[in-house]
Amino acid sequence: MKLDGSRILVTGADGFIGSHLTEALVRAGHQVRAFILYNSFNSWGWLDHAAPDVRGGFEVFAGDIRDPHGTRAAMRGCDIVLHLAALIAIPYSYHSPDAYVDTNIRGTLNVLQAARDLEVKRVVHTSTSEVYGSARYVPIDEDHPLQGQSPYSATKIGADQMALAFHRSFGLPVTIVRPFNTYGPRQSARAVIPATIIQLLSHKGPIRLGALDPTRDFNFVADTVRGFVCAAACDDAVGDVVNIGSNFEVSIGETARMIAEIIGVPLEIHSDAQRMRPAASEVERLWASNVRAKQLLGWAPEYGGKEGLRRGLAETIEWFRDPANLAAYKADVYNI
């Protein structure tokens, strides 16, 4: 499917990945409508900080993905929907699982029903590597069993299955993109990479982290964004699930050491109990197979392997070094 000439809706455009995706689409010359969460402050989230060449290049729709009427209004006149709106913090899902059902499952259902009625040409639904749980084999391909090890991952499994059901039941042209652990500028401090960077740049002594042994497949945000764009344009990906991952496994502890080396500061880590997941909920190992993405989408990570991770971390650290960016975060408060 050609993206040129299409009107593209990005849900969750005010968030971390969504704002980067919105910027990339605008820079590529596409017509973009950014669906942001309504708030009385008239804040557009990270889009308030869009680069000068992007500002004014997109339309904003303020609403709530949990509202079927507003969701339908946001989608009217759009050819392609890139659905990223979701609640994603795992610790908060232990606290408020109902909110995750409403946002992640019912919100996705609202998108799918509106897309069917409005005859949208393509829906790209965002999944997560967390749906796989701890790896039963590596690298993890798209046929790996799904395991809901947190309320968050359980709701994402439900949303994924709803999207596939709409494709199988009604022929809705849906593609599921399953990013592994995306990182980069603007990421919430709830995630381990920004949490580590913020604490080290704040020079307040030992940093506090959770479990250090679990492994992750970190994916720089620019690579993730390219994955979404490739998926939207790929007719052969309709009805399919595609991992977006670097095919490189690294532990949390080693990642923290790499960050400290790049910044040039000593590293001392204290284990923080509140940052630990319940034992059976912790995902111990994630390592993506990206064979299908390469074959189907023609996508490959530009920040792959250890060298690519170092480059991505260096770019992320450089963004956080800007005092204006660092000031937006609370280094001494655990963000769930």
Other C-beta atoms closer than 10 Å to the C-beta of 220 total 24
Q: Strand pairing partners for 22?
A: none
- 158: number of Cβ within 10 Å: 19
Q: Hey, how many other C-beta atoms are within 10 angstroms of the C-beta on 145? A: 10
Reply yes or no on whether 100 is catalytic. no
Sheet strands (E) in the chain: 7-11, 31-37, 59-63, 80-83, 122-126, 174-179, 181-183, 207-209, 215-216, 218-220, 241-244, 250-251, 269-271
**Type of residue numbered 90:** I
Contact of 122 with 81, CB cutoff 8 Å: yes
Q: At residue 219, what are phi and psi to the nearest 5 degrees?
A: -125, 120
Instruction: Confirm if 180 and 247 have CB atoms less than 8 A apart.
Output: no
Catalytic residue among 152, 183, 303, 329: 152
Give Cα 219 to chain centroid, integer Å. Answer: 10
Q: How far is the C-alpha of 91 from the C-alpha of 330, rounded, in Å?
A: 17
**One-character DSSP codes across 10-37:** EETTTSHHHHHHHHHHHHTT-EEEEEEE
Residue 88, both tokens: 């994603």
In degrees, rounded to 5, the angle at the alpha carbon of residue 10 between the alpha carbons of residues 7 and 13 is 140
Handedness of CA 181, 185, 190, 191 (dihedral sign): positive
Active site residues: 152
